Structure 1
Amino acid sequence: MKKTVTKLADGRELLYFDRDETVVRDSADLRPLEPATSLSEVRLDPATGDWVTVAAHRQGRTYHPPADQCPLCPSAPGRLSEIPAADYDVAVFENRFPSLALGAPDPAGDGSPLHGSGAGTGRCEVVCFTADHGASFADLDPAKARLVLDAWTDRTAELSALPGIRQVYCFENRGAEIGVTLAHPHGQVYAFPFTTPRTTRMITAAAEHRARTGGNLFEDLLDAERADPVRVVLAGEHWTAFVPFAARWPYEVHLYPHRRVADLTGLTEAERAEFPGLYLELLRRFDRLFTQPGDNTPVAPTPYIAAWHQAPALQGEELALHLELFTIRRTVGKLKFLAGVESGMDAFVNDVSPEAAAQRLREVAS
């Protein structure tokens, strides 16, 4: 892998990740851009202890542009984009409309002990998986998927080392139903100045499990699923994918390495080599989950979120790296909306049993 670091016209960082180590990336960004600014701040909810990011400047971000104006496609004569090169393998750049930014100013505050706040310090990056606008992650070959994994690992290592960063989160939102505003296949990386609420709850659960049993929660979860594989979807030498016993989403799969590591940087070469094939198979199965009544034609693409859970800095030694993949589609033409119970109380009701979901995901194997 070759990594090339350059700058966009407004000073944001752009990184190319290439399989060909001889490639030269010297295309300049010729757009007349003003420097990007961020007014983000984080505010503490005293009732829950959760941090909330306020980023009002994001209201003006790019929203569903036509394909010939996609900002993630390579630049071409008469159409300059966020990627100055005429082609690329994987490209990563600082978001022009970030929720968090290293230069975010400190909020004035009002002095109230109930109004805790701070600068929205962090970094938000866009990860473009391919130059092909019409493709998806599932269309990548294993070598390209491995390159994306290497890019995620690189960004985890670099962003974790930045001052004030507590947690690095790599993820992909796919599909308009999820809320995606750019159709080009891409993901994002957030570097947070706090430990996110979901991760905080997992840290607490892991500590309680350790105190109660003396074991690691995530190792024990994986061992239990592998011992009774009714919810196992697929497995390799180094990874296992399963539907969790208490899945929240209609179709939800967790992919764990067999050896517990804190984050992507801890994976061995053997673990990295096996990941692309298993992950691509999972994504392709998701696109075969739902079929048209009568002719069994897949209703694709399936909207999904793919989320890497990684241990935060200086905390969460008990956490295990794993990937969570889920869709909000519960059946053909119907979505799982987070209505009053889920949104109001964070109490999920699943319309599909985890065992049935796992069976269906095994049925649609390649």
Structure 2
Amino acid sequence: MSDQHTTHRRKNPLSGKWVLVSPHRNNRPWSGATETPSIQSLPDYEQTCPLCPGNTRANGEQNPSYSATHVFNNDFGAIIENLDPTPTSPAPHFIEQHVTNGECRVMCFSPNHNQTLAQMSKVQILAVVKEWQRQYQELSKTYNCVHIFENKGEIMGCSQPHPHGQIWAHDHLSSEVETENARLADYYAEHGSNLLADYISFEQQQASRIIFENESWLVVVPYWAAWPFETLLICKVEAVSFDDLSEADMHGLSEALQILTVKYDNVFNCNFAYSMGWHNAPNNIENKQHWRLHAHFYPPLLRSASIKKHMVGYEMLGEPQRDLTPEQAAEILKAASTTHYLRG
């Protein structure tokens, strides 16, 4: 294994891509010093918010007075149902396009305008998890690829502060899922075992990058992490999609999500921004034994609530590069309290 104190590269087995690690650029222990961010105090209810209960959205529809989660079709969805299967006209071999068919939904996590996952109880998060399962079960009957994700924070392009996620479902396999499917299948064919199951065992032996673990879930800063505080949330039971989760698995997931998101907020005492998303096995493949349900968390914050990591220059034209090693990031996350800083 590469020396933790010298420049080296680490390979992501799920994508086949590499990340350049430069620990000498951050070779002294870092205490996680923070800056005071600009704090926007949000009310429980905002009368101009299109996601709050009872309010009217841009298309004129009115939200119900919901008390837990609420899901509706995205008024500005990037993908729409396209019933015209007409193939595209012939084009040069370097130009290719296909009709995309699918739909986009918005999911409000809570009726409270100011309540993120990190500020919700395990019971409230469990309602979110169960709704994810219901939405997956419904959409997977029609579409091959179902993406459940959340963009949290303005710096991640989130246009509405009301805590919410999105669900995009479509016939085609997204590029990330297609790549992961191929990598996972190749590993299974070569080794006769599941890559993520083997990776769980590896991390349990190493122990240095694990942030949290219960009977059903493991949260780890992956060995190949590209973003400063990137984490991977992996199902320990043999589930290839949300459809396979038991009641106990969903309770375990609500616990894992609460602890991880609280720890994130406590790193810099702020509403910690990230993009996160679930990868389920595609529905149009016959054998799924190489799959394991998992979620990626990609937070951009680096040294404070207002300083983010930018993927520019070499990262865009070469490959991702990081100064803070995954092991150092894991130590910071492990040290973060499980009691939210606003309740401390």
Check whether the contact 2:57–2:63 (CA below 8 A) recurs between aligned residues: no
Indicate the residue corresponding to 1:327 in structure 2. Answer: 299
Change (3 A) 1:312 1:76: closer
CA distance in 1, matches of 2:51, 2:66: 11
Q: Aligned to 2:77, which of 74, 98, 101?
A: 98
Change (3 A) 1:79 1:249: closer
Is the CA contact 1:72–1:81 (under 8 Å) kept in the aligned structure 2? no
Deviations 1:58-97 (A, max 9, x none): xxxxxxxx95321101125999975532343110011111
Percent identity among equivalent residues? 26
**Conserved in 1, the CA contact under 8 Å of 2:51 and 2:63?**
no
1:68 is paired with a residue whose SS is coil
Question: Could you tell me the TM-score, scaled by structure 2's length?
Answer: 0.79
Distance 1:365 1:211 in 2: 42
For 1:124, the equivalent position in structure 2 comes to: 104
- 1:208 correspondence with 2:186: yes
Identify the range of structure 1 (348-357 vs 242-251) with the bigger mean alpha-carbon deviation: 348-357
SS at 1:71 equivalent = coil
* Residue 196 (1) aligns with residue 174 (2): yes
Match of 2:120 in 1: 140
Say if 1:72 and 1:82, in contact at 8 Å, map to a contact too: no
- For the residue of structure 2 that corresponds to 1:334, the secondary structure is coil
> Could you tell me which amino acid in structure 1 is paired with residue 330 of structure 2?
A
Aligned length, in residue pairs: 290
**Alignment-mate amino acid for residue 274 of structure 2:** Y
Paired position in structure 2 for 1:303:
273
Instruction: Give how far 1:105 is off.
Output: 4.9
Distance 1:87 1:176, change over 3 A: same
CA distance in 2, matches of 1:83, 1:77: 4
Q: 1:348 to 1:79 in 2, by over 3 A?
A: closer
1:336 corresponds in structure 2 to 309
Unaligned runs of 5+ in 1: 1-65, 291-297
- Go from structure 1 to structure 2 and tell me whether the alpha carbon gap of 1:161 and 1:113 turns closer, same or farther (over 3 Å shift): farther
**TM-score computed with the length of structure 1 as normaliser:** 0.74
User: Which residue pairs with 1:350 in the alignment?
Assistant: 322
Report if the CA contact (8 A) 2:50-2:58 is conserved. Answer: no
3-state SS in 1 of match to 2:80: coil
Partner of 1:59: none
Hey, what's the Cα distance between the residues in 1 that align with 2:297 and 2:66?
Answer: 29
Return the offset for 1:260.
2.3
Equivalent AA in structure 2 for residue 287 of structure 1: D
1: CA distance, partners of 2:167 / 2:144: 13
Find the counterpart in structure 2 of residue 173 from structure 1: 151
Q: 1:80 to 1:135 in 2, by over 3 A?
A: farther
CA gap 1:107/1:79 in 2 versus in 1, 3 angstroms = closer
* Amino acid aligned to 2:263: R
SS state at 1:124 partner: strand
- In structure 2, what is the Cα distance between the partners aligned to 1:302 and 1:173? 11
Q: CA deviation at 1:192?
A: 2.1
- The 5-angstrom pairing of residues 190-339 of structure 1 reads 190-290=168-268, 298=269, 300-315=270-285, 317=288, 318-332=290-304, 333-339=306-312
Residue 106 of structure 1: how far off its partner (Å): 5.5
How far did residue 212 of structure 1 move? 2.6
In 2: Cα distance, 1:307 partner to 1:260 partner = 19
The 1:166–1:80 alpha-carbon spacing in structure 2 relative to 1, beyond 3 Å, is: closer
Say which structure is richer in strand. Answer: 1
Alpha-carbon spacing, 1:359–1:305, altered in 2? closer, same or farther (3 Å): same
